[in-house]
């Protein structure tokens, strides 16, 4: 579905991350499931797949990372009109679990906030491990967490060792899990392919269910063009994902990318 929309709020969160509030100018839009995503159409520039960081009363929140002309054009929009298409993907509702550890790299943190709010409504707790390359990419995740998420623990890792744990998010996740045996029964990793691969590998001996929120090229969003196939698996990110069990997409995760 295509919806006309308007930017109603903008905020620079850190050196590279920006928050945008987008009001859908159409009635009847269905609330997305956690991990469903949208395509933001910046007129005359690009169509950008974006995670839903929050959704309420027809207003969707996204977190944009500055990394190319399309994202820079989206960041430059203030009180402007744009197009929103979605919501796409099967989403993921992990409500049968007791406590989830969300392991994010960089802008992979975006879907955490919507997941955390919806999970809390279902009686499921969510904690966060968030890793970035440099401390200037950080913002305070608690500032975007809903007030219902009072018991959420947050662990931060920086690769430049400026704040928190010195190293990658995958290494910090492994450490906190081994220091707190039995605390979490589900891990969801979100971010660059290298991070997903490391989380699946480092935590494979924990007995915890391991899922990853994948990213790849998305064009149509509806399973028609084949651009989002997770080779060598016959799985489409936009139709079957974007969240998959580690063991179901091992070949894709081995295919490359950096942490
Ligand atoms: S983007 Fe998934 S099939 Fe086209």
CA distance 237 to 218: 8
**In angstroms, rounded to a whole number, what is the distance separating the alpha carbons of residues 191 and 259?**
8
Ligand 1 centroid–CA 202 distance in Å is: 30
224 ligand 1 Cβ < 6 A: yes
Q: Could you identify the residue written with the tokens 């440099």?
A: 134
**Three-state secondary structure string covering 8-74:** EEEEECCCCEEEEEEEECCCCCCCCCCCCEEEEEECCCEEEEEECCEEECCEEEEEEECCCHHHHHH
194, burial (CB in 10 Å: exposed 0-12, middle 13-18, buried 19+): middle
Residue 54 C-alpha to ligand 1 middle, in angstroms? 23
Angle at 150 between CA 145 and CA 152, to 5 degrees: 75
pLDDT of residue 45: 87
Give the nearest ligand 1 atom to 226 CA. Answer: 3
Q: Is 236 close to ligand 1, i.e. is its CB under 6 Å away?
A: yes
pLDDT for the residue 257: 45
* pLDDT computed for residue 256 by the predictor: 54
* Whether residue 225 has its Cβ less than 6 Å from ligand 1: yes
Ligand-binding site membership of 166 (annotated): no
Nearest ligand 1 atom, CA 223: 3
Ligand 1 near 217 CB (within 6 A): no
**Rounded distance from Cα 228 to ligand 1 centre (Å):** 5
Distance (angstroms) between ligand 1 centre and the Cα of 237 equals: 7
- Residues contacting residue 246 through CB under 8 Å, at least 6 positions apart: 196, 199, 200, 204, 210, 211, 212, 253
* Distance in Å, CA 215 to ligand 1 centroid: 12
- Residue nearest ligand 1's atom 3 by CA: 223
Give the angle 10-155-242 at the CA atoms, nearest 5°: 65
Report the C-alpha gap between 143 and 4 in whole angstroms. 28
> Could you give all domains of the chain from N- to C-terminal order, each with its CATH number?
3-88 (2.40.30.10), 99-253 (3.40.50.80)
Query: Which is it for the CA torsion 232, 235, 238, 240, positive or negative?
Result: negative
Parallel, antiparallel or unpaired: strands 37-42 and 46-51: antiparallel
Q: What are phi and psi of 147, to 5 degrees?
A: -65, -20
Measuring CA to CA, which residue among 127, 106, 115, 96 is closest to residue 195?
106
228 is in an annotated binding site: yes
Contacts of 68 (CB under 8 A, 6+ apart): none
Q: Is there an atom of ligand 1 within 6 Å of 218 CB?
A: yes
Cα(230) to centroid of ligand 1, in Å? 11
The reported pLDDT for the residue numbered 259 is 43
Pocket test of ligand 1: the residue of 87, 228, 231 to mutate, having most ligand atoms within 8 Å of its CB, is 228
**Cβ atoms of residues 221 and 85 within 8 Å:** yes
Residue 200 labelled as part of a binding site? no
Q: How many residues does the chain have?
A: 259
pTM: 0.94
Tens of pLDDT along the chain (259 residues)? Answer: 899 999 999 999 999 999 999 999 998 789 999 999 999 999 888 899 999 999 999 999 999 999 889 999 999 999 899 999 999 999 999 999 999 999 999 999 999 999 999 999 999 999 999 999 999 999 999 999 988 888 999 999 999 999 999 999 999 999 999 999 999 999 999 999 999 999 999 999 999 999 999 988 888 889 999 999 999 999 999 999 999 999 999 999 998 544 4
**Residue 111's pLDDT is what?**
97
């Amino acid at each position: 579905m295509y919806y006309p929309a308007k930017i109603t709020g903008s905020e620079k969160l850190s050196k590279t991350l920006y928050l945008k509030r987008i009001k859908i100018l159409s009635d009847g839009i269905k609330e997305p499931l956690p991990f469903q995503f949208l395509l933001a159409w910046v007129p005359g520039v690009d169509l950008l797949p974006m995670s839903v960081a929050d959704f309420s009363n027809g207003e969707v929140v996204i977190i944009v990372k500055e990394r190319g002309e399309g994202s820079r054009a989206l960041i430059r929009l203030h009180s402007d009109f744009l197009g929103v298409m979605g919501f796409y993907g099967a989403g993921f509702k992990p409500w049968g679990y007791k406590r989830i550890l969300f392991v994010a790299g960089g802008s992979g943190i975006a879907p955490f906030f919507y997941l955390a709010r919806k999970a809390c409504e279902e009686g499921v707790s969510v904690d966060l491990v968030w890793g970035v390359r440099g401390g200037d990419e950080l913002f305070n995740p608690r500032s975007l967490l809903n007030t219902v998420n009072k018991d959420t623990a947050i662990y931060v890792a920086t690769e430049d060792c400026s704040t928190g744990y010195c190293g990658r998010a995958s290494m910090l996740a492994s450490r906190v899990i081994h220091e707190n045996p039995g605390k979490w029964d589900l891990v969801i990793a979100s971010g660059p392919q290298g991070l997903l691969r490391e989380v699946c590998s480092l935590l494979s001996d924990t007995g915890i269910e391991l899922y990853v929120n994948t990213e790849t090229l998305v064009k149509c969003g509806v399973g028609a063009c084949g651009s989002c196939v997770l080779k060598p698996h016959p799985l489409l990110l936009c139709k079957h994902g974007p969240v998959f069990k580690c063991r179901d997409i091992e070949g894709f995760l081995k295919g490359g990318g950096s942490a």
